[in-house]
Structure 1
Amino acid sequence: MNKLFTLILLFNMTFGMAQTYHFPEESSTHEGTWLQWPHHYQFGTEYRKRIEQTWIEMARELQSGEKVHIIAYDAAEKIRITDLLEKNRIPLKNIDFRIYPTDDVWIRDSGPIFVKDDKGRVLIENWGFNGWGGKFDSKYCDKVPARIGKDLGIKVIDLNEEMVNEGGAVETDGNGVLMACKSSVISQKKGATRTKGITQQDAEEMFEQYYGVSKVIWLDGVTGLDVTDMHIDGFVKFMNHNTMITMDEDGLFDMGLSEKDINTLYEATNADGKEYKKVYLPATKNKVKTAYGKQLDYKGSYINFYVANTVVLVPNYGDPNDKIANKIIQGYYPGRKVVGIDVRNLYENGGMIHCVTQQQPAGDILKSED
């Protein structure tokens, strides 16, 4: 981490000079949702065909309640995607296209982090992205936040040289608390290093300023368990500043959590020092089988859902527990329609709905020239 930057940050925080930013709770009103549409340029046509239906269904459900900003790899892809939406009778009124080359679809991790300043204006934080510690290509996706900022005229805070931070690696309760796994944020192990030399204190100071939190709860996580080195959004989500939704102990063990991490999670307290109320979702009853027939060796999580303006998109697996999970989630979002989205083929690649969506909160933007 840049030592000069750290000294400046500490000085500014000490003397109250640093602007702090607030990452709005996901359920607050959106201007829109950003999606990076699957393409064939990196992993081939079969890859695109296997997962594309998930994007079609997400676009269908999201467009009635907010803007849907679709990132297409190139002009030819924009035409192809437009034709696909029209064939599926999806209205284009709320669909907006941006043409940027991308490495893959995981915009939650590589895309812009939209925050608000102390005047409530929306701007972009452009954190570094290095393909989950160098496991995959990242050169195109890492440039997407800056390109969005330039095209929309939104101010961008460039944090690329200070810290690599993936959106799925952190969860916030919207009221001063952030939770993350050390394994996917500050690990220095080969193949998992996001920011060389970063310490826990460095990361906490960055989160305090750029997410607007006063408390960081750390789980150890497991380096190398999966591509993400155990992203938090696979097994816990804050529904509000008093409530978290997670899994029972057996489910968390299945996800790879240690007993220590489970205890830390269950005993976590909010900014007022009160233990979070917990809602428990099951894992899938069975190990997931893809839509094209491949048997995977692990169960599916329903925690990785996405809360939009009028709908809640929940990963579904063609499993008996789909209906149970959908019903539980619906009970906590009475003003929104819960929609199960088939993620079986996407899950083979390690992700679900939350991993491939990114919200832009409603509000006036802080213009780049301001």
Structure 2
Amino acid sequence: MKNLITILCIALSINLTMAQTYHFPEESGEHEGTWLQWPHQHQHGITYRNRVEQTWVDMTKALQTNEKVHIIAYNETEKQRIINILEKAKVALKNVDFKIYPTDDVWIRDNGPIFVKDINGNILIENWGFNGWGEKYDFERCDKIPSKIGKDLGIKVIELGEKMVNEGGSVETDGNGVLMACKSSVISQEKEAIRNLGMTQGEAEDMFKKYYGVSKVIWLDGVTGLDVTDMHIDGFMKFVNHNTMLTMKDDDLLELGLSESDVEKLYSATNTKGKEYQKVYVPATKNKVKTAYGKQLEDKGSYVNYYVANKVVLVPNYGDVNDKIANAIIQKQYPDRKVIGIDVRNLYENGGMIHCVTQQQPAGKLLK
């Protein structure tokens, strides 16, 4: 009898542990739709808006044929303006809907909802706190977006902001138990780039294991202060599947700012079975990026910051000779999807690319 009670207690403990663990589905899994925060003039002005919003038109056009596109507009006036722009561009609106929420900016990968599944496969939202990449920019409006989406969808929201800030672009998962991140954008304690003051590496790992459903966390050091994000992983590395990562050759990585030790850690990373990931390499742009309106920027562009949707893969393009080469390499990794190059030259001036401004909602039943 005593042994039976012990077994039941162990089983109950396991069940309770499982009940408290969530799973972040692979980006390449089936989507219900994609969320976009449309650029507006209320934070950075009309010139900024006009320069970047063609990227949103192109993304919406590419995505709406195979999944929903949920567009967040600043207000009703902006909503109507966006509709007019899309209609003028001959973008079908059947699969496009709108939510009216004031935002600070466009980076929904970092401030938006993290859609996860519970042990029964039901979908809910994790609302990790967002603090403008260490309070570098205004963030109060964007920080509220996950809760607002949850309320409108009538879906359960797990509020994690009091425990940890976490930008979606700062982590990458292989869909099979591994998460990779840079310490610089997750647990930096350096002035003007603070993330999660006082949080230890172990405490961050515990949060990721519970709320992303992973069993292994691989850390790169990253670089604090190199850019606004303090080096997000999605700028130079992406898991294609459980066994394969797509990244760049060491010369390009070093030019982007990675240290030699981080390059070695990246290349030698292993999955949960201890097997080193196969590497697929894409080049950076051959030349430093020049905006569509002629401004010469100081950096080359990355193609790794792409977005995998239901039937298409949206790849950042720069009007560079390597666009075609990178598109072809990525196309080989997703033979059942069509690669579409999206011009991000003007967006890149502001520090981001395609993955930075998209957020997937997996297909499935919502947990009310």
Alignment TM-score, normalising by the size of structure 1: 0.95
Three-state SS of the structure 2 residue aligned to 1:49 is helix
Q: Counterpart in 1 of 2:167?
A: 166
| Corresponding letter in the other structure for 1:314 | V
| 1:121-153 CA distance string (max 9 Å, x none) | 000000000000010000000000000000000
Q: Identity over the aligned pairs, expressed in percent?
A: 74
Distance of 1:343 and 1:40 partners within structure 2: 18
Give the Cα–Cα distance (whole angstroms) in 2 for the partners of residues 47 and 352 of structure 1: 15
Partner Cα distance (1:128, 1:197) in 2: 16
Unaligned 5+ segments in structure 1 are: 1-11
1:44 maps to amino acid: G
- What's 1:4 paired with? none
- Aligned CA distance change for structure 1 residues 13 and 108 (closer, same or farther; 3 Å): farther
What is the DSSP-based 3-state SS (H/G/I as helix, E as strand, rest coil) of the residue aligned with 1:364? coil
CA positional deviation for 1:280: 0.2
Amino acid corresponding to residue 145 of structure 2 in structure 1: V
Conservation of the 8 A alpha-carbon contact between 2:19 and 2:119: no
Deviations 1:212-254, CA, capped at 9 Å, x for gaps: 0000000000000000000000000000110000000001001
Give secondary structure in 2 for the equivalent of 1:34.
strand
What letter corresponds to residue 126 of structure 1 in structure 2? Answer: N
Aligned twin of 2:331: 330
Q: Which amino acid aligns with 2:216?
A: K
**5+ unaligned residues in a row in structure 2: which ranges?**
1-12
Whether 1:286 aligns to 2:280 is no
* Bigger Rg, which one: 2
SS at match of 1:157: strand
Q: In 1, Cα distance between the equivalents of 2:133 and 2:353?
A: 16
State the partner residue of 1:36. Answer: 37
**1:90-142 Cα distance to aligned partner (Å, 9 max, x none):** 01000010000000000000000000000000000000000000100000000
Q: Work out whether residues 19 and 118 of structure 2, in 8 Å CA contact, stay in contact via their aligned partners in 1.
A: no
Query: Following the alignment from structure 1 to structure 2, what is the Cα–Cα distance between the partners of residues 204 and 153?
Result: 30
Residues in 2 aligned to 1:77 and 1:194: alpha-carbon distance in whole angstroms:
33
Query: Does residue 1:98 correspond to 2:99, yes or no?
Result: yes
Mapped partners of 2:168, 2:273: distance in 1: 25
Whether 1:183 and 2:184 are equivalent positions in the alignment is yes
- What are the superposed Cα offsets for residues 323-347 of structure 1, whole Å, 9 maximum, x if unpaired? 0000000111111110000000000
Tell me how far apart the structure 2 counterparts of residues 169 and 130 of structure 1 sit (CA, whole Å). Answer: 13
1:289-337 deviation line (CA, Å, top 9, x unaligned):
0000000011000000000001000000000000000000011111111
Deviation at 1:195, TM superposition (A): 1.1
Quote the residue 2:4 is aligned against: none
Cα distance in 2 between the residues matched to 1:276 and 1:157: 32
Cα distance in structure 1, aligned partners of 2:119 and 2:32? 19
Equivalence map 1:134-213=2 (5 Å): 134-213=135-214
Asked if structure 1 preserves the Cα contact closer than 8 Å seen for 2:18 and 2:119, the reply is no
Deviation at 1:15, TM superposition (A): 7.3
Tell me, in whole angstroms, the C-alpha distance in 1 between the residues paired with 2:14 and 2:254. 39
Cα RMSD (Å) of the superposition?
Answer: 1.1
Q: Following the alignment from structure 1 to structure 2, what is the Cα–Cα distance between the partners of residues 270 and 66?
A: 31
Q: Which secondary structure does the structure 2 equivalent of 1:350 belong to?
A: coil
**For the residues of structure 1 that align with 2:200 and 2:243, how far apart are their CA atoms?**
29
Q: Confirm whether residue 132 of structure 1 aligns to residue 147 of structure 2.
A: no
State the match for 2:340 in structure 1.
339
Tell me whether 1:117 sits opposite 2:118 in the alignment: yes
Distance 1:356 1:81 in 2: 17
Q: Secondary structure at the match of 1:239?
A: strand
Aligned residue in 1 for 2:3: none
Residue aligned with 1:302, SS:
coil
Deviation at 1:16, TM superposition (A): 2.9
The residue type paired with residue 50 of structure 1 is: R
Instruction: State the alpha-carbon separation in 2 of the partners of residues 191 and 241 from structure 1.
Output: 36
Give the structure-2-normalised TM-score: 0.96
CA deviations over 1:170-227 (Å, ceiling 9, x no partner): 0000000000000000011111112111110110000000000000000000000000
Partner-residue secondary structure (3-state), 2:291: coil
Equivalent residue for 1:66? Answer: 67
Q: Find the aligned partners of 2:17 and 2:223 in 1 and give their Cα distance.
A: 36
Q: After the TM superposition, which segments of 4 or more aligned residues of structure 1 sit over 4 Å from their partners?
A: 12-15
Q: Which residue of 2 aligns with 1:255?
A: 256
* Inter-CA distance 13–210: structure 2 relative to 1 (3 Å threshold): farther
SS in 2 for 1:163: coil
- C-alpha distance in 1 between matches for 2:289 and 2:65: 30
